[in-house]
Structure 1
């Protein structure tokens, strides 16, 4: 039996869900972002108890097909941007349609209808969040970040960053540096 879980976006989320399932003595076959395969059917009471426990952790069981599809779209994009070294060798629409085995027009219309934004804007938002993270780590130059995230140029990354955040990457980085304190100052 498959369970679909909203808001699972990182390896720590998988660990948190795995721990909850183990506490409830639910045998799992596999756990991935947004999806858990369990060994046997859950009773109605067990499902409600699991949903309640997951909500305390910031997760939620997803019941209807549309919500599951939206969560799958989000999980694929989050994985691509934040957890994968896979370079996008095609456009996002083709990649997503191939990954989820659905026509992109269907995916796009469903996502826009439910989320009130486009898949492309969601993807851009995730990429900018990754840029912010990399800027704060201060291990890569802006040019290296642009290369790592598949931007055609540093100028394009900077332009998109400013459009989304209202700040230049350099200014954002300087703000974050001034707000951060050394551990001995805490």
Structure 2
């Protein structure tokens, strides 16, 4: 078992590697600008993930549909696991690997964005959603760990945290979610002088 000090040291080390990775930082900036552009043209954003990544997907959707820094109009965003009846029906009638793809196929349109979150980059249902997104003309933002897994090959934007530790990856995903949410909110709604 690691001590609290060791966990904090690892967290700081991962954040330092991120800060030193100009390509990764530029990708995050580009994702934020992509969402701004999409929202300006009426697009929506969908998110998916499993376990902690599902919680991150829901968190991201909440920041966009609610508000992050200041009060403003809601933005179209949806975590694809948010409807338990859909999730259980599709898992039962088809299979669990299809649950996100089926939800996306029923709602997404060309120009929308899917944020596919998987620390390994290899979650079968997330991969299937990304494949469906590509077929639908939906941009794929992949949030993964260091390798990117199979999801890297399907991503238009790959945000791959430089770590293989699930906890450190998820902590970093939340940092990116907050940074993107803040950027989107200010670009779309901040009062300009």
Q: Normalising to structure 1: TM-score of the pair? A: 0.25
Higher helix share: 1
Q: Normalising to structure 2: TM-score of the pair? A: 0.24
